[in-house]
Amino acid sequence: MAKNNNQITGTFRDGIKTRLKVVSAFIFLFVAALVFRLVSLQIIQHETLLAKSEKQYVGTVETQFGRGVIYDRNLNELAQNIEVESVYATPSEIRGRKTTARVLATALGLDQDQVYKKISSKKDFVWIQRKSGLDGIVKLKQAGLSGIGFLPEQKRFYPKRELAANVLGFVGIDNQGLAGIEHAHQSRLKGATVRQVTERDARGRNIQPFEGMNDSSRQSYDLVLTLDEVIQFTAEHYLKKQVERFKADSGMAVVMDPHTGEIYAMANVPQFNPNHYGAFSRQVWKNNIVASSYEPGSIFKPIIAAAALDKGLARPQDIYFCENGKLKIGKASIGEASNHKFGWMSMRDIIAKSSNIGVIKIAQQVGRKSFYEYIRNFGFGEKSGLSLPGESAGQLKDQKDWTELSLASISFGHEIAVTPIQMVSALAAIANGGNLMEPHITKALIKDGKVVEQFKPKKIRRVISEKASLQMVEILKSVVKNGTGKTAALEGFDVAGKTGTAQKYDASTQSYSSTEFMSSFIGFAPADSPRLVILVMIDNPKGLNWGGVVAAPVFQQIAKKALRYLNVPSSKERVFILDRA
């Protein structure tokens, strides 16, 4: 019996020992697994888990800050930045979504359903409205809505509103240049991208306010243009009045220094306000002076005259028979404007009276090949090099593709399309002694108040001799003194120029319209020492359409104001100065 009891006791003890060993083994394995897990989390996976943690508890918002200022040539601000605030939401923090949506929509002028959809998002951060108006911000701050925050940003502002809008262009919501100078010089003006870090709690709620968004040192380059805001305003003012007076479709005016190629003014009508560009059609945004081309009509006649003089094929006093107003070329019959019946005329009078048949006779002297070469040398058929987006090269057929009529048609500005900037550059070459200058509208780059780069005048090539230039100046003076451009005359200044009244081509009928015209005048003053070349083009004026009636008066008004503003002395003042000397 005692033996059996000893056996039972031994067996019991052996069982306990076995269980203790099993439990000890489990404890050991658990501790080992725990240690391994801690090593894995703290050492092996530390970087990976840290990154995941930061993603869960740290957020970033990107904004653009410090875009460069755009100035006119006298450092008047044309485009600047203003401090504004944007409205954002943290949806998980919002209490009473319907009420919140209603208050947001009312204060900011938004659609309530769209706002409700945004604040019901599962995202941690949503924009409600970027760059809001001050009134809306004040109302929302007074409302004290939960889950709604405000972020300081910069908004592009054009203090002169419509002034030079087609040149300046505009920027998008993230301050990226979308048109004009803003787009062409985006890389220089763009400023800095600011990444603002925000911390969140375990539930994804923002617990750190947005900071560091108003650092004024985060600017890129400032840009100085060749534009003069006074001359720009003058050009826009008188151009707009004439477009409205004649109920025209549109109008353009360019003012350039013929010796440097600097553009003082580039006016387009109709206008738009770049502060609210979205309220205007895309067509109004367009800068037609560089982006559109037109058949120039009679303002192109000086090109063939200059070519004939430069080649020594003609003199201003040479006489041509103008066929009494009717010339046959092949099966075509070409007449004069308003059925004039000119007989014998000098080259000077052909340009002054704007005889189509007379310039055809001159063109026949020059010939196809030479005429084509002069057209190209004057810069037509290629982009001018102006630093504005969307520039057109115009339309110039290769000389081998000219028809029997092409020489005649092109001589008086048909069967060729030019941009206004090409046309004003070409006449500037005639005015300045024969050199084609590259037109430019950017004058300098500024960084931290210091000029870091200047854009100097660039001569492209000589196109006619100085002698031919002087002869053309005298011919173009006769246009204003005795010809079709009398309304461009300025008291105290000699003016040289040319009128144009081009019939518009109707693609639907494949013929020239008898009711739609491009009325234009191009000229320079003072004629013998030119400071300004000015082109005025008015598209489809109603009623009267002659360039001398519609466009030349605008030239006269712009030139009169601009010359006085630039302190250019009149002929009487020059005599007085010389006498005093």
- Tell me: pLDDT of 477 over 60: yes
What per-residue string of b and e applies to 405-415 under the rule 16 or more CB within 10 Å gives b?
bbbbbbbbbbb
**Which pLDDT value is given to residue 31?**
65
pLDDT level of residue 384 (50, 70, 90 thresholds) = very high
**Which pLDDT value is given to residue 199?**
52
> Of residues 214 and 552, which shows the higher confidence score?
552
Separation of alpha carbons 195 and 212, rounded Å: 10
**Which pLDDT value is given to residue 214?**
46
**Which pLDDT value is given to residue 441?**
97
- Tell me: pLDDT of 48 over 50: yes
**Which pLDDT value is given to residue 507?**
77
Give the pLDDT mean for 80-106.
87
Give the pLDDT mean for 395-410.
95
Q: Indicate the domain borders of the chain.
A: 59-200+216-225, 229-580
- Tell me: pLDDT of 368 over 80: yes
pLDDT tens digits, residue range 492-509?
A: 999 999 999 998 887 778
> Of residues 506 and 176, which shows the higher confidence score?
176
**Which pLDDT value is given to residue 145?**
85
**Which pLDDT value is given to residue 119?**
84
Q: Tokens standing for 229?
A: 């805001």
Strand blocks (E) in 302-404: 319-321, 326-329, 332-335, 344-346
Strand blocks (E) in 270-368: 319-321, 326-329, 332-335, 344-346
**Which pLDDT value is given to residue 22?**
62
**Which pLDDT value is given to residue 54?**
47
Contacts of 541-545 with CB under 8 Å at 24 or more apart are 541/246, 541/247, 541/248, 541/517, 542/246, 542/247, 542/248, 543/246, 543/247, 544/246, 545/501, 545/517, 545/519
Query: Which of these ranges, 70-84, 184-198, 452-466, 522-536, has the smallest mean pLDDT?
Result: 184-198
Among all chains, which residue has been given the structure tokens 């549109």? 250
For the purposes of burial, counting CB atoms within 10 Å of the CB of 19, is it exposed (0-12), middle (13-18) or buried (19 or more)?
A: exposed
- Average per-residue pLDDT for the chain: 87
- Tell me: pLDDT of 1 over 80: no
Q: Tokens standing for 167?
A: 């040149």
- Tell me: pLDDT of 27 over 50: yes
- Tell me: pLDDT of 57 over 50: no
- Tell me: pLDDT of 217 over 70: no
Give the CA distances from residue 428 to residues 36, 179, 509, 522, in Å, rounded to whole numbers and listed in that order.
84, 27, 36, 10
Query: Which of these ranges, 112-121, 164-173, 226-235, 531-540, has the smallest mean pLDDT?
Result: 112-121
Report the sign of the C-alpha dihedral through residues 151, 152, 154, 155, in that order: positive
DSSP state of 40: I
Separation of alpha carbons 165 and 467, rounded Å: 40
Residue 43's φ and ψ, nearest 5 degrees, are -120, -60
Give the CA distances from residue 113 to residues 76, 94, 104, 105, 119, in Å, rounded to whole numbers and listed in that order.
44, 16, 11, 9, 10
Query: Nearest-CA neighbor of 441 among 394, 386, 400, 390?
Result: 386
What per-residue string of b and e applies to 271-309 under the rule 16 or more CB within 10 Å gives b?
bbebeebeeeeeebbbbbbbbbbbbbbbbbbbbbbbbbb
pLDDT level of residue 213 (50, 70, 90 thresholds) = very low
| CATH dotted code for 229-580 | 3.40.710.10
Give the pLDDT mean for 341-358.
96
Q: Tokens standing for 428?
A: 């500037």
**Which pLDDT value is given to residue 124?**
80
**Which pLDDT value is given to residue 581?**
52
**Which pLDDT value is given to residue 491?**
93
Separation of alpha carbons 249 and 296, rounded Å: 17
pLDDT tens digits, residue range 336-349?
A: 987 889 999 999 99
pLDDT level of residue 90 (50, 70, 90 thresholds) = confident
**Which pLDDT value is given to residue 73?**
97
Q: Which residues sit opposite 496 in a β-bridge? A: 524
Separation of alpha carbons 377 and 372, rounded Å: 9
Give the pLDDT mean for 175-190.
92
**Which pLDDT value is given to residue 37?**
64
> Of residues 198 and 13, which shows the higher confidence score?
13
Q: Which residues sit opposite 206 in a β-bridge? A: 200
pLDDT tens digits, residue range 411-440?
A: 999 999 999 999 999 999 999 999 999 999
Give the pLDDT mean for 451-457.
94
- Tell me: pLDDT of 204 over 50: no
**Which pLDDT value is given to residue 21?**
66
Determine if the pTM surpasses 0.95: no
**Topology of the domain comprising 59-200+216-225:** Penicillin-binding protein 2a (Domain 2) (3.90.1310)
**CATH topology match: 59-200+216-225 vs 229-580:** no
pLDDT level of residue 537 (50, 70, 90 thresholds) = very high
**Which pLDDT value is given to residue 572?**
77
pLDDT tens digits, residue range 127-144?
A: 888 888 888 888 888 888
Query: Which of these ranges, 108-112, 202-206, 472-476, 560-564, has the smallest mean pLDDT?
Result: 202-206
Question: What share of the chain has pLDDT > 90, as a percent?
Answer: 63
**Which pLDDT value is given to residue 439?**
97
**Which pLDDT value is given to residue 331?**
86
- Tell me: pLDDT of 216 over 80: no
**Which pLDDT value is given to residue 352?**
96
Separation of alpha carbons 42 and 36, rounded Å: 10
